[in-house]
Amino acid sequence: MEIQRILFTTNAAEALSEALRLTDHDRLFVLTDAVTAQLCWPLVSETCREEQLVTIPAGDDHKTTDSLIHVWQSLSSGGASRRSLMVNIGGGMVTDLGGFAASTFKRGIRFINIPTTLLSMVDASVGGKTGINLGGLKNEVGTFRNAEEVIIDTHFLRTLDADNLRSGYAEMLKHALISRREDWAELLRFDIFRPDFGVLQTLVEKSVEVKRRVVTEDPEEHGLRKSLNLGHTVGHAFESLSLRTGHPVLHGYAVAWGLVCELYLSCKRTAFPHDVMLQTAAFIKETYGTYSFDCKRYEELYELMTHDKKNANGIINFSLLSDIGQVCLNQAATKEEIFDMLDFYREMMGA
């Protein structure tokens, strides 16, 4: 897989215009969701001439085969060929689903990602993972396929509500934990409730660079890239349970709560510093609140964790830390250890 081309800019329209000029194509399709069609697409729409706009419903619960088929059908009825180009403008749901649709239509057409949420800037739009949810499970079906270019303009973040801003910040916190203590401390100091967007742009660039470095070394998750799953084995289980119970939570919130669990497990299994775990857990509780569940849900959460893609032979594997920046991959945990971890979470977070 080629190294991901990422452009940081303060003028997304100008950057997109240049990207379109450099990317030969016969037809242009633009994928948005119902929210970004109103808030974000108008900021760059004048750049595109004779584009065909495809819009899907907003929200991760629409990251489904129905939405995927709608995009495929729109490409087909719009006369898309293998020389056509799709621009995905939106959050992680749009870039994941749009990338998957583009990577499979006619065995693959090119696409450009313009992430408009903090989560999609630092996570979903970078690294070549595409996919949809299936049967209540996150990203159960997908491909590895890089966008032609990722255009990141933090001006879009001013369109975000506070919850979605904090959702993306959780992935930045994860990147800091697998990278450098200085980055971790800087994120804990930053006021995400009253953000300075100039400072945030710098933090985003640092966070994206962590992910780019990891995925460049291990593009298809055979080794180091598994470090990006810190917090996600439990986080995806929380997210899937919330969908099952009809009370969906934002991905970043689920990852933040997953970090509390997996840093505790890191303390128990790989000697992660207890004080750093407690500081991080306190920050997460203050910033994200608590996902509440009782012990009757432990079996269901355990079953959901068995679907994690890092697992092998029915054994639940975690990506843990022995210290900030020191990753321990393929850490198998027993059911008893996982239940103990959930006990700690509920006690620490007041769940």
Catalytic residue among 129, 138, 166, 226: 129
Catalytic residue among 251, 262, 269, 317: 251
The question of whether 106 is a catalytic residue gets the answer: no
The question of whether 232 is a catalytic residue gets the answer: yes
Catalytic residue among 236, 239, 269, 317: 236
Give the residues across from 113 on adjacent strands: 88, 150
Work out the angle at residue 64's Cα, subtended by the Cα atoms of residues 59 and 69, and round it to the nearest 5 degrees: 120
Catalytic residue among 51, 148, 221, 262: 221
The question of whether 285 is a catalytic residue gets the answer: no
Catalytic residue among 70, 229, 239, 262: 229
Hey, CA dihedral for 252, 256, 258, 259, is it positive or negative? Answer: positive
Beta carbons within 8 Å of 27's beta carbon, 6+ residues apart:
52, 78, 79, 80, 81, 83, 84, 85
Catalytic residue among 70, 174, 211, 269: 211
The question of whether 347 is a catalytic residue gets the answer: no
Catalytic residue among 149, 171, 239, 262: 171
Catalytic residue among 62, 225, 226, 269: 225
CA 351 to chain centre: 25
Determine whether 170 is exposed, middle or buried from the number of CB atoms within 10 Å of its CB (0-12, 13-18, 19+). Answer: buried
The question of whether 251 is a catalytic residue gets the answer: yes
Of the CA atoms within 13 Å of residue 69, those in its CB half-sphere come to 3
Work out the angle at residue 241's Cα, subtended by the Cα atoms of residues 351 and 270, and round it to the nearest 5 degrees: 65
Catalytic residue among 138, 232, 262, 317: 232
Catalytic residue among 107, 194, 222, 247: 107
The question of whether 274 is a catalytic residue gets the answer: no
Distances (CA, A) of 202 to 39, 176, 254, 273: 24, 13, 25, 28
| Cα–Cα distance measured from residue 120 to residue 73, given in angstroms and rounded to the nearest whole number | 25
* Helix (H) or strand (E) run with residue 212 in it: helix 197-217
The question of whether 107 is a catalytic residue gets the answer: yes
For 112, the 3-state DSSP assignment is strand
Hey, CA dihedral for 20, 25, 29, 32, is it positive or negative? Answer: negative
> Which residues are catalytic, by number?
107, 129, 171, 211, 221, 225, 229, 232, 236, 251
